[in-house]
Chain A
Amino acid sequence: MEGVEARIEQVLSLADDQAGERPDAATFSALQSFRRFCLLATATEAWATLAYFRDEESAPLHLAIALWLAACTAIGWPRRFGRIATAAAAVGLGLQVVAVFPTAANHQVLAVLCLGLLALPHPDEPAERELVLRALRWLVVIGLFAAGLQKLLFGYWLRGELLAYAIWARDSFAVFFQPLLAHDEWQRLRDLRPEAGAGPFLVDSPLLIAISNATWLAELVLPVLLLRRGTRRPAVVASIVYLTLIELGARELFFGGLMVNLLLLFWPSDVVRRTLPIFAAAYFYLLLVMLGIAPHWEFR
């Protein structure tokens, strides 16, 4: 058993900061800020989910979950009830994932894991806070690497097929990649009809093929650079730039927001606290879009 403990410690500690770089107060502060971010993000998305299911039979359930998560956010914002509210939010979001199974978004499962981990540490135990910070960092590392590996194994990024398809199928990708493609090539993809045999979903542009291959390669390499202490800070910046570029096309703002904040946990100081007002303003704006007060645009 001691051997297992030692091995677990050895692997988990790969996500640690350099000795002495991160006092417990910084870990405490970062986890508090990340907890507030998670509560805010999941509550906002619950209202977006309710808007999506408003005409379905399950609408009352989604309304109850949205109210529940909003209450958890309000109650759990101050430190005093933070742990219990975070655990309650994990249960509420977990119920929603089960309710919409198997169509729950992957990042909602990730958010359940994050909330569950954040509810774990006892307030008097610095070692448990450290454990949770390590686990959250490992979630990012595993997730990014798995995403790159899946792209490589399925093979749709090697010749740019996925990007060509995305340009055809999604306006947001078409707009994003238009400046990078010759007009004729871009137009050919956009004019393809949705019928059997349509295609080929290939591009001649060496730049787009390079971007396509750089994508899966980045997802395999960045996690390693995040773990290496010497390259951690540039890797955090590069990962956030990479995610931002992806979201300009994909517009999956809830996924992107969660991943960016998880990445910020690699920074030695509490950056999440400083960026929280920006995310709070962004989520407030998304609520206005959902309510029809701000102009509508497509996001996920």
Chain B
Amino acid sequence: MTKSPGPKSPGGPKSPDAARHTRVKRRAVAALLVGVAVWPLLHHGFVRATGANPWRLFGWAMYATPEPVVEVSVELRRHGSTLGRPLSKRARDLRDRFAARRSSFGRAATGESLGRAILAAEPHADQVEVAIRTWRLDRTTARLRIDEERRVFPRQGR
């Protein structure tokens, strides 16, 4: 380990500039700490309102609830029938990225953009159905619960 020679001596009275810098830093640190202190309360409200994952977004709420698990499935359709083909890699990436966003932001991530992006990535489909299943531990019953949401996105302008 490097042996530290110790702090430099200030060696005299502070210049006005140095004193001003220290004052600015003190205020910046105070503002940072106020932000860090207030954020968990806003975070709590956001999680309550949207069902977002409390473990995310620096709210100090890890282990405050079991981490919700989000599963997103996508079904491609053409003329009302299911297309019997697997999703392209691009569409799979979009789906997985949305699942991560949905898990972190809850219902604030609506899936609207996912539907449009998948239709753009899958030119054979004229409709896409996005199903979002969120596994949670219901606090009242202490049992696992699945919240399911399905949305259908038709291709526009054809």
Contacts and interface: CB of A to CB of B under 8 A. Distances in A.
B40 A126 contact: no
B6 A28 contact: yes
Contacts, number: 161
A199 B146 CA distance: 13
Interface string B1-36: 110111111110000001001110111011011001
Interface string A188-214: 000000111111111000000000000
Contacts of B55: 106
A102 B29 contact: no
Interface residues of B, number: 51
A36 B4 CA distance: 12
Contacts of A8: 26-27, 30
Interface stretch (B57-65, B75-83, B113-121, B122-130): B57-65
A200 B139 contact: no
Contact of A146 (B1, B11, B40, B65): B40
A77 B2 contact: yes
A162 B63 contact: yes
Given A4-B27, A143-B60, 19 more contacts: A8-B26, A12-B26, A25-B7, A102-B56, A102-B101, A103-B56, A103-B100, A106-B60, A120-B29, A124-B11, A126-B10, A128-B22, A129-B7, A143-B36, A146-B37, A150-B61, A161-B137, A198-B144, A201-B144
Interface of B: 1-2, 4-11, 18, 21-23, 25-27, 29-30, 32-33, 36-37, 40, 44, 54-66, 100-101, 104-105, 135, 137, 139, 141-146
Interface of A: 4-5, 8-9, 11-12, 24-25, 28-29, 32, 36, 77-79, 102-103, 106, 109-110, 113, 117, 120-129, 131-132, 134-135, 138-139, 142-143, 146-147, 149-151, 153-157, 159, 161-162, 164-166, 169, 194-202, 250, 273, 276-277
